[in-house]
Amino acid sequence: MLDKNGIAKRIAKEVQNGYYVNLGIGIPTLVANFVRDDIEVEFQSENGVLGMGPFPFEGQEDADIINAGKQTITTMPGASFFDSATSFSMIRGKHVHLTILGAMEVSENGDIANWKIPGKMVKGMGGAMDLVASAENIIVAMMHTNKAGESKLLKRCSLPLTGVGCVKKIVTNLAVIEVTDKGFKLLERAPGISVEEIVNATEGNLIVEGAIPEMDILFCK
């Protein structure tokens, strides 16, 4: 089973040379720590930062340099800062190759809910609605089940939606899953996790074809 860093390491393998990538709040922000050194990637944040680097070490934080989630960040050489209007024109103009988001729920047809639990919590929509409507490739980083052990990969989302039919791939603490026209498709399983455990933790339709390989994150940065 993966922890949050393990999920981020696996997603970092999806990032390709030359990509412009938007990182959502939570687990997605960790992805910048694990991207290979031999590729060039530009990480973007909705509050107007292009060229984010890894998280700062304790004691080296600069309170004036933050991401959209108000977390302190570092910047790479050549990074730029601009207003949110310019930032969202970059998003809406489809100049972001990959968006990595957290989620509370994902449905088998690719719907995502990640901003509100009625009566309990309102995280706020932020830029997520623009991102899911504009990005060509959306990967979700999330835990497979909630604290009560209930699946978060569902037939239909029960929470208010952020986007419809937009998620392409999901990386959880248990598995890597692709969203297809026929439902979820199991691609990889986390170290030490069986296919049966993943099936039992998934409410939505899960396609399992052949032998499912174990994730390889040993050689991630």
pLDDT digits (tens, 9 = 90+) for 136-187: 899 999 999 999 999 999 999 999 899 999 999 999 999 999 999 999 999 9
Burial of 66 (0-12, 13-18, 19+ CB in 10 A): middle
Q: What is the pLDDT of residue 184?
A: 97
Q: What is the pLDDT of residue 148?
A: 92
Backbone angles phi, psi at 90, to 5 degrees: -65, -40
- Residues designated as active site: 46
Q: In what order do the strands lie in the sheet with 112-113?
A: 112-113, 105-107, 153-154
**Lowest mean pLDDT: which of 120-124, 174-178, 200-204?**
120-124
Q: What is the pLDDT of residue 111?
A: 95
Return the domain boundaries, the chain: 4-46+84-207
Q: What is the CATH number of domain 4-46+84-207?
A: 3.40.1080.10
